Structure 1
Amino acid sequence: MGTDGRYRENIYRGLAVEVILKKDQRTGKTTSGIVQDILTKSSFHPHGIKVRLQDGQVGRVYTDTK
């Protein structure tokens, strides 16, 4: 993924993203989906912007910072 998911300006409704759900934080397993709502209010979050996917799941947009 080329978009830095830590910046809110890069995320918008309808964007296809990979997120890490709360239950998968330890393993780092990602889930694919389409952004329905942006839940993080700040312009930057070091762990990724929190979003709600169209299927109702909530997670932080995954960014490979390595």
Structure 2
Amino acid sequence: MDGQNRNAIHPGATVDIVLKKDQRTGRLTRGTVKDILTRSARHPHGIKVRLADGQVGRVKTIFPDQG
């Protein structure tokens, strides 16, 4: 799933994000969502989140919950 819709993302979800410094290269960073920072329901470049390790970026891929 892509990361443009806020309702698809929740704390604890595993996601790939693009950090600000990696926007030119498109390098992805995988982590677990701690906080959702974008307030709007949708964002064309991806919802901005803070990962559990403190990194901030825009969601590009959401992985299904393992359960």
Q: Same fold (TM over 0.5)?
A: yes
Q: What TM-score does the superposition give when structure 1 sets the normalisation length?
A: 0.90
Q: Deviations over 1:9-59 (max 9, x none)?
A: 000000000000000000000000000000000000000000000000000
- Structure 2 residue runs without a partner (length 5+): 62-67
Pick the structure with more strand per residue. 2
How many corresponding residue pairs? 61
Offset of 1:4 from its aligned partner?
2.3
Task: Summarize the alignment of residues 19-58 of structure 1 with structure 2, pairs less than 5 Å apart.
Answer: 19-58=17-56
Q: Which has the higher contact order (CA 8 A, sep 6+)?
A: 2
**Of 47, 54, 57, which residue of structure 2 is paired with 1:59?**
57
Unmatched 5+ stretches in structure 1: none
The percentage of aligned residue pairs carrying the same residue is 64
Q: Structure 1 runs of 4+ off > 3 angstroms?
A: none
CA RMSD in angstroms comes to 0.7
